[in-house]
Homo-oligomer: A and B are copies of this chain.
Amino acid sequence: MGEAAEEFGGVTPDAARRLLLGAVEAFAERGFHATTTRDIAGRAGMSPAALYIHYRTKEELLYQISRVGHERAVRILSAAAEGGGSAAERLSTAVRAFVRWHAEHHTTARVVQYELTALGTEHYAEIVGMRRRTEEILRGVLADGVADGEFTVEDLRGTALAVLSLCVDVARWFRTGGPRTPEEIGTLYAGLALRMVGAGPTRSSG
């Protein structure tokens, strides 16, 4: 769980942080509905009663995990979108960073991506808002590239969603110790994303 320890490093106090790490681990292994607050407290080396000092419900833990994960997604994409360079350079940076996060933090990312429907109504609405924001950021980079004549994209919304989707799905299939590093997948996918917007290197084969 080194990957999650890094992601939730900013959460204080220490007990609240350890409970989030226990929740990520339990939700990823067993799913939200099969996890009890007792499981989570146990993984954090605490009593079930101690958990309730920090989180009112199991859903509150899922919400905090989702919030941290989606804030990270918005930050990664904003940094790339607002960084210098051409639209192609910014798209490439965004895809590399987004892929790397989904590979390196694949356990956290799976919880963030696949347990959304277990959130309560208000929390779900808040997270959906953050998801819209990530889509808008990427769509903005694509629109810039089209305006500059770098990209050819007929369906900006659908293409932006597809590029994000390709990155997100890395969390599903990535295995630590597999044949490719997160960095290598990021490089491959940045090239594929450039092609998806009509800006890829299109050397003739041979």
A interface with B by C-beta (< 8 Å) = 30-34, 113-114, 146, 149, 151-152, 155, 158-159, 161-162, 165-166, 168-170, 172-173, 180, 185, 188-189, 192, 195-196, 198, 200, 202-206
Determine if A206 and B149 form an interchain contact, defined as CB atoms under 8 angstroms apart.
yes
Chain B residues whose CB sits within 8 angstroms of the CB of A206 once the complex forms: 149
Determine if B173 and A189 form an interchain contact, defined as CB atoms under 8 angstroms apart.
no
Minimum C-beta distance from A157 to chain B (A): 9
Copies in the complex: 2
Minimum C-beta distance from A37 to chain B (A): 14
Determine if A161 and B189 form an interchain contact, defined as CB atoms under 8 angstroms apart.
no
Determine if B159 and A205 form an interchain contact, defined as CB atoms under 8 angstroms apart.
no
- Which of B30, B152, B161, B200 sits near A173, CB closer than 8 Å? B161
Determine if A189 and B162 form an interchain contact, defined as CB atoms under 8 angstroms apart.
yes
Minimum C-beta distance from A73 to chain B (A): 14
A200 to B202, CA, bound (A): 10
A196 to B202, CA, bound (A): 10
Top-9 shortest CB links A-B: A31-B31, A33-B34, A34-B34, A169-B169, A165-B169, A152-B205, A30-B33, A195-B195, A158-B188
A206 to B152, CA, bound (A): 8
A158 to B152, CA, bound (A): 24
Minimum C-beta distance from A186 to chain B (A): 11
Select from chain B the residue with minimum beta-carbon distance to A32. Answer: B31
Chain B residues whose CB sits within 8 angstroms of the CB of A149 once the complex forms: 204-206
Select from chain B the residue with minimum beta-carbon distance to A31. Answer: B31
- Which of B155, B162, B185, B204 sits near A152, CB closer than 8 Å? B204
Determine if B198 and A205 form an interchain contact, defined as CB atoms under 8 angstroms apart.
yes
